[in-house]
Chain A
């Protein structure tokens, strides 16, 4: 009987393997640690490593398994865990904060209260279940070598103006996230649509100039670095600034008209095996040490005097920053009809599934 059960379990595991899988995973701390914390996140391992190492190195012999996921897959797997009621991750950290809010709204998150969570601003704490742990800007990334200072767009209006001429050299060389492939891209695009009517003109300009929609921050920044793209729109600043440390050609602009500010959202799933440990990890990330570690990984961007050199700040930061608040309003973008219509609008601009310049031949 036991053997049969084992076979069934293996079959189930095989079936589960057909389900979404993590892009990468890495463990920290002693391999034989008594307590292990399973963290799933959309953050690149390289970006998040410092924080994980710091927490794992705390006395107590703690092991951390970190799985890096795509934001939509991470949502799917977390929701499935929640509905099935079985084993789940101990903490889920995603830049697709709308999906995180939906998880909490559907009762998949566990509340955690501490002095750290109490000190969070209201926009970064919903129901003591979803917490904004980072501060990242949606920026315009460009290559300093290829775009001179005078030409750099300071706002969306500048970008639209740059794209307008028929013979603009930006034709086909502007990139942004594919909103169907990237949860973060959808979130930014939807927030843009809420913020200003500029979005309509912008998407129309993208369409006319054959802009490229593609997946993933690193690919877009790679493209900017090697000159494939001259400008990337709505890229998560943390990745761009990290790359700028290695490659001085990369620079970022926080648009003057408005700059979206994203707080990557962490939540503790309801079925977490180690909720206390997850809470401790959360408190650590909100602590002084955790915040400085996140800051060194550019996950918390300073916008004061000590802002990174590669980042050009808006002229009036206090009115330009638009934090994406963790509220149920984010659920609107996830509505089936709303999403269908929004994607249809987007698709009319970027018709090709993979994106690419060949889709719009001259």
Chain B
């Protein structure tokens, strides 16, 4: 099931893989940085600690200097060398020079450094060594001057300590890296678990189940689920429209078509030319009604479909009204009744689908022409709370008891004729709902009847 699901989608790499790569990168860069830092730190730490031993030993030797008959006497304390022995494998070299730079005691291989720098590097017995230079001023009657003590030591212990510090740091980095990786795996798994729940939910659904997904998901995925649910809802509505259309068509079209067939058979058998003409006249009228019925059915389906699939855009209702009147005039040529238009000066803009609105408007005009009394007026107005677009006539209109059900399909209404399937107001109502408004029927005076759409205003468009 998983592979099938993957086969359908475009794969852009696994999340775990991406996370792994990012983590590895971070750890690698961090590891290298920490290693370098650890090495630098280890080096300076080792250098400092062993330099202290070195200078301690040199100071002890300098402290042991004495004078006998004007000559410098050195009484090296054993503790000075024990201090140096704390670097257990390192060779030791030392020398003491008097004020004239002559070697007093120690190794003659040691050269007295020129400068006054305390520490310097050199070599001893073929190994790199670190030296310290300590000068002691002696001011006695028999000796006045400086005595220089130089103590050196090979650098094995320093190198070892540096390596040890670096190694330990690297070990710590490795452990931390492993722990972070482990936590990351856990985190990814737990983060992806809701997705698996959604997958399971879909896998377990029957093919006809189009109810919204109801799975516990974290905030980050909630919007995805909401989008998914909206999508499912849209499919559900469209399927329902389709089913309705099929049901309506089969219900509404069967009878007129059967009647047409019967008439046509009659016409074939009729011998009298006048009879035949009368029957053809009937066939013509019925087929016209059938065509209008088909129109309405398809319109209704289209409007409901559009409500889901077309984005609303600012529409001036005055344009909608004049378009509807224009199209009505075209469709019903030869009508002796005049449709008037009552439009305000200011633009009446609302968010809407112009095509649906025009269709709704045309339906209202049709109804008024069919059942109302002239003069018929298409009006657009602003009643304060909402924008209204609708049709007014001077007829009695429909009985008030039917108003509540007027928006439903095939509502039984007085005066239903063979020319209408009773879908007109249901289309209007559907358009109004798709725009977030509603259809309103009103009788402002005894000889006036209004049907109009109340549409919400666009707030930003208000002056």
Q: How many CB-defined contacts (below 8 Å) exist between A and B? A: 57
Q: Are A338 and B81 in contact (CB under 8 A)?
A: no
Q: A329-B81, A329-B82 are in contact. Are A338 and B88 (CB under 8 A)?
A: no
Q: Are B78 and A329 in contact (CB under 8 A)?
A: yes
Q: Are B88 and A335 in contact (CB under 8 A)?
A: no
**Which residues A322-362 have CB closer than 8 A to chain B?**
327-329, 331-332, 335-338, 341
Q: Confirm or deny: B413 has a beta carbon within 8 angstroms of a beta carbon on chain A.
A: no
Chain A contacts for B217, CB-based, 8 A = none
Q: How far is the CA of A291 from the CA of B82 in the complex (A)?
A: 30
Q: Name A336's contact: one of B82, B84, B93, B105 (CB within 8 Å).
A: B105
Chain B contacts for A336, CB-based, 8 A = 105-106
Q: Name A328's contact: one of B73, B75, B85 (CB within 8 Å).
A: B85
Q: How far is the CA of A328 from the CA of B93 in the complex (A)?
A: 10
Most buried by A among B76, B78, B105: B78
Quick one: closest A residue to B86, CB to CB? A327
Q: Mark A90-123, 1 if CB is under 8 A from B, else 0.
A: 0000000000000011110000000000000010
Most buried by B among A107, A127, A335, A337: A337
Most buried by B among A104, A328, A335, A341: A328
Q: How far is the CA of A332 from the CA of B104 in the complex (A)?
A: 15
Q: Are B78 and A194 in contact (CB under 8 A)?
A: yes
Q: Confirm or deny: B126 has a beta carbon within 8 angstroms of a beta carbon on chain A.
A: yes
In this complex, the interface size class of chain B, counting residues with CB under 8 Å from chain A, is 20 to 34
Chain B contacts for A126, CB-based, 8 A = 88-89
Q: Are B78 and A332 in contact (CB under 8 A)?
A: yes
Q: A107-B125, A194-B78 are in contact. Are A335 and B106 (CB under 8 A)?
A: yes
For residue B157, give the distance in angstroms from its CB to the closest CB of chain A: 11
Q: Are A337 and B76 in contact (CB under 8 A)?
A: yes
For chain A, the count of residues having a C-beta within 8 Å of the partner chain is 18
Quick one: closest B residue to A336, CB to CB? B105
Q: Are A107 and B126 in contact (CB under 8 A)?
A: yes
Q: How far is the CA of A107 from the CA of B127 in the complex (A)?
A: 9
Q: Are B76 and A105 in contact (CB under 8 A)?
A: no
Q: How far is the CA of A341 from the CA of B66 in the complex (A)?
A: 12
Q: Name A335's contact: one of B74, B82, B89, B125 (CB within 8 Å).
A: B74
Q: A328-B81, A337-B73, A338-B76 are in contact. Are A105 and B125 (CB under 8 A)?
A: yes
Q: How far is the CA of A331 from the CA of B92 in the complex (A)?
A: 9
Q: Name B104's contact: one of A127, A331, A337 (CB within 8 Å).
A: A337
Chain A contacts for B92, CB-based, 8 A = 105, 328, 331
Q: How far is the CA of A104 from the CA of B88 in the complex (A)?
A: 13
For residue B129, give the distance in angstroms from its CB to the closest CB of chain A: 11
For residue A268, give the distance in angstroms from its CB to the closest CB of chain B: 16
Q: How far is the CA of A338 from the CA of B65 in the complex (A)?
A: 12
For residue B69, give the distance in angstroms from its CB to the closest CB of chain A: 13
Quick one: closest B residue to A109, CB to CB? B125
Chain A contacts for B106, CB-based, 8 A = 335-336
A selection of 17 A-B contacts at a CB cut-off of 8 Å is A104-B91, A105-B92, A105-B125, A106-B91, A106-B125, A107-B125, A122-B88, A327-B82, A327-B88, A328-B90, A332-B78, A335-B105, A336-B106, A337-B76, A338-B76, A338-B105, A341-B75
Q: Enumerate the 6 nearest inter-chain pairs by beta-carbon distance, A residue then B residue, closest first.
A: A107-B125, A328-B92, A329-B81, A327-B85, A337-B74, A336-B105
15 more A-B residue pairs beyond the given contacts A332-B80, A338-B75, A341-B73, with a C-beta to C-beta distance below 8 A: A105-B91, A105-B92, A105-B125, A106-B91, A106-B125, A107-B124, A126-B89, A194-B78, A327-B85, A329-B78, A337-B75, A337-B76, A338-B74, A338-B105, A341-B75
